[in-house]
Each structure stands twice: as structure tokens, then as C-alpha cells.
Amino acid sequence: MTTNDQDFQFEEATITTIHQAFSQNTLTCTQLVDYYLNRIETLNPILRAVVEVNPDARALAKLADDERDNARGNGAELGALHGVPVLVKDTIGTKDKMGTTAGSYALVGSVVARDATVVEKLRKSGAILLGKASLSEWYKIRSIDHLPNGWCARAGQGVNPYVKSADPCGSSSGSAISVAANLVAVSLGTDTHSSIICPSDHNSAVGLRPTVGLVSRAGVIPISSRQDTVGPICRTVSDCVYVLDAIAGPDPRDEEATTKSSKYIPRGGYKQFLKVDGVRGKRLGIVRHPFVTSLHESTVAQSFEHHLETLRERGATLVDSLEISHIAEILNPHDSGEITAMIADFKHAISKYLNELESSPVRSLAEIIAFNEKNPELEKTNEFGQDGFVEAENMHGNGEEIAKIIEHLEQLCKEGFEKLMKENELDAMVTPGTKAIPVMAIGGYPGITIPAGYDEHGIPFGMLFSGLKGTEPKLIEIGYAFEQATLARKPPLFDSPEWHEDLHIP
């Protein structure tokens, strides 16, 4: 194979441009993996976005190159993500030489019984597992109010690649930082409350939070079966869609949730909804209080109004000044009971997960708590605490109370977001930034955030499109049309004054 990697534009590469280069013999998977490994080696000591690199990455790349050469000779069909490097969050199980630790030293040495279902599907599609992305340790459930966004013991503090002092958000911080900084082609994150949407928004990435159950959670360190979902974080809507097509679908290992939601998957998959005019004829709801009014006269608020005009010009009908019932309560997870329900779910789910591991230094939440107490320097237990763990461990015999909380959350959804969407015949709700996240979280609804600009400090922000369960096709149409109309995303500039002047970017 004759190649010249100088002909290929590595920065901001997409799945489409990668596959075109493969087919034109101007790029090999080995060259692509080497590029990303060099980027990680150079930038990860600063960004702290990757927990560990797959020691077999180069071997897998060589195998992919051989498979491609053989396919050319015999006409064999390759997977939709063949040769595409991907990072998965360090809570997504991989049965290989990498660990699955939630960023915590407590799980170092644990061995999963098998790949998570999403990893099985990625491998089947031909993707290259490049490594494990960092996160807010244990999804912040260890200490929701005190653990910093983007921090975990194993990787350290994740850094926003646009503005060092800016919040990288969490918990899928490493997944978002990595794609934003071109450390990898695409990534997988997980979302219980805000963990795909928020880091994507803050790091100028596209984040797609699927309907709960659309993608299997089997083999993923859990928090809540009611709210957990797995989804792509990428640089473009099309890349997110290609990844979603590869990982969505029913799974007997997560049977109840995936059977219920697999009915939403359209025949022919999701690529068909990548339409430049996808916003035409759509009804978009705008809830100004509190999502817009709280921005006052900021750059973000001004950009939001400009983007609304763009959507209108592209053929959308904007239904303005709507309200969501009980919105103040919904937006406060302590008031709504969401956090209490999550912690109760976690206590049960983590015990089951730990006991299914082939081997592990800890087999219970109590043992994790004890590990953190014995290793305060490693885990910064004195600084960040573990009150969430302790609260979960101390929960006993309150099943009736939790059931009432869940019933209340379901009622908030019916009287709030669902009523708003149905009564106004909306295709999606559009909001700036991340404040609307709890609306989606408590109901298991899907959403997609698209890079929308940068504030007066250079910090990224996005436009969030949210819908009812199973409305991914509409959200993809709207999101792709918005992305193509605005093309707001820009890669971070590591040669700016606030970054090391002597930093060499390969």
C-alpha cells in the first residue's frame, strides 16, 4: 500500500474523511492511530482526558490495515466504523488489557467478565479501541456537591482545551475533551443526569444523549437503571449518528429497557435523517423562563437570538414564550427527589455490578468506602469526601419512600415536559447551554447539543435540542441542519498565549 499521510488532514477528521482516505490509499489505520497516540502523549499531561491507552492499539490498527487490503482483493464488506479510533469512558467495560475503574484506584485490578455490549458492537463494526477516557470519578455520585467536575484520582483534573480555567463539566469530561482536542476520532460517554450534554456543551463538541434503553447499558458501571444511557460524543452530528447506528439496539443483557426502546429505532437506521433542510417544517418550542432570562444580556443570550433567527429562516416554526409546569422543582434535583432516587438506585446497582466481576479488590460499596478512607492521599478523600457513598450505604428499608419519589418524578414529567410538547405539537424544545438538562434526565428523554459559539471569555456553549422518547430522528434532522447552517465549531488553539509557548503539537 502506497500512502502519504501529508495528503490527509488529521485535525478535525471525520469518519467520512477517514474512510475516503482509506479507500484512496492516502491513509492507513496505523498512521491514524499513531497520530492520535502522539497527540495523547503530547497533550494528555496537560488535559488529563485519557486514563489509559490501549497497549494493543497499534496491533489492532495493523490488523485493520490487513483486513482492508484483503477486502480489496476479495470484495468483502467492512464494518461501518472500520479502522476508526474510539475512546470509551472508563466506566464502559472492556475485556482486554485495559481496566474499567470509574477513575478510581479502588477498582484498579478488577477484571470484567466480558466486553460491555456497546464495546462488542464497536468491535463488530471494526472500530479501534484506542483507550479509556477520563471522567468525574464515580460519576460524582461519590460526592455530588464536593467532587470537582472532570476530576478523578487516576487521571487528575481534566482541563477545558479552550480556556484552562473553564469548567470542563462532567462526568464524561474526558470523552468530550478528547474529541475537542483531536486526541481521537470519536468517543463514547454515559449520561445519568448531565454527563453527555454538559461536557459536550462546555468543550465545543456534539453530544447525543439517546432515549434511555435505546442503547444497552450492560457491562457499564451503573448508577440508575431509570436514567442511565450511553451515547456518542463527537465533533460532528454525522459522526454521532454513525456511532449511534453501530451501538443502538436490543440486548438480552439489558432486556427490559432495550426491548421497550428498540421499537423507536427506524428501519434503515439514523443516517437517513442527516438532512441539510431537516429543520424545515419543524415546530420548535422556546421556554424563556428560566433558560433564557437567566442569561440576561450576555454574549450567549445574543447568540441564542441570532440562532433562533437562523432556524426561522431555514423554515422552522418557533413557538415562543412557553412554560413548563413545576420547572423550579424539576431543575433542583434535591427538591425533586432525583438525587435521593439516584443514590438509592446506585446502592443496589453497584453491589450487583461488583459481584459480577471476574475478580476485584472490592466487592461492596462498604469496601469502596473503606478503601477511600485508607487511601486519602490517592483519592483526596479529605478534600472531596464521599458523602454520597456514605448516604447510599446507610439507606435501609426506605423502598416505599423511594417508590413515592419515582412516582412524583413521573408526574413532574407528565405535567411538565410531556404536556408542553404534546399540547403545542412540538418536534423539539430548543434551549441555550445546559440549564434544561434535568428536564431530560428525570424522564429518560433524548437530546442533542450542537456547538453554537464562544462567550466573551472564549468558553464554548451549545444549542440543546430536546424531545420526547424515541424522537432521535427529528432531533438529528434539526441538529444536523442547525450545524450545517452555522458551522460554529472551531478547534482549540494550543499556541495561544495561555498555553505553553514551547508545546509542540504533532
Per-residue pLDDT tens over the stretch 323-334: 999 999 999 999
Catalytic site residue from 104, 125, 171, 261: 171
Residue 496 belongs to a domain:
no
Residue 159 belongs to a domain:
yes
Residue 59 belongs to a domain:
no
Tell me: pLDDT of 112 over 60: yes
Tally of residues, the chain: 506
pLDDT of residue 498: 55
Tell me: pLDDT of 501 over 50: no
pLDDT of residue 502: 37
Across the range 7-26, mean pLDDT stands at 96
- Could you tell me the pLDDT band of residue 5, with boundaries at 50, 70 and 90? low
Residue 29 belongs to a domain:
yes
How many domains are contained in the chain? 1
Rounded distance between C-alpha atoms, residue 150 and residue 140, angstroms: 9
Residue 435 known to be catalytic: no
Across the range 260-265, mean pLDDT stands at 97
Tell me: pLDDT of 279 over 90: yes
Mind listing the pLDDT tens digit for each residue in 394-424? 998 778 999 999 999 999 999 999 999 999 9
Rounded distance between C-alpha atoms, residue 10 and residue 4, angstroms: 12
Residue 263 known to be catalytic: no
Q: What are the cell numbers at 110?
A: 478488577
Mind listing the pLDDT tens digit for each residue in 42-97? 999 999 999 999 999 999 999 999 999 999 988 889 999 999 999 999 999 999 99
Residue 246 belongs to a domain:
yes
Chain mean position to CA 339: 20
Q: Which of 288, 197, 201, 231 is nearest to 488 (CA)?
A: 201
Catalytic site residue from 89, 121, 282, 469: 89
Q: What are the cell numbers at 467?
A: 424531545
Residue 195 known to be catalytic: yes
Is there a contact between 135 and 174 (Cβ–Cβ < 8 Å)? yes
Residue 505 belongs to a domain:
no
pLDDT of residue 75: 84
pLDDT of residue 4: 54
* CATH number for position 318: 3.90.1300.10
Residue 501 belongs to a domain:
no
pLDDT of residue 496: 65
Catalytic site residue from 104, 136, 195, 360: 195
Encode burial over 236-249: b for 16+ CB neighbours within 10 A, e otherwise: bbbbbbbbbbbbbb
Residue 207 belongs to a domain:
yes
* Domain span including residue 283: 5-54+79-486
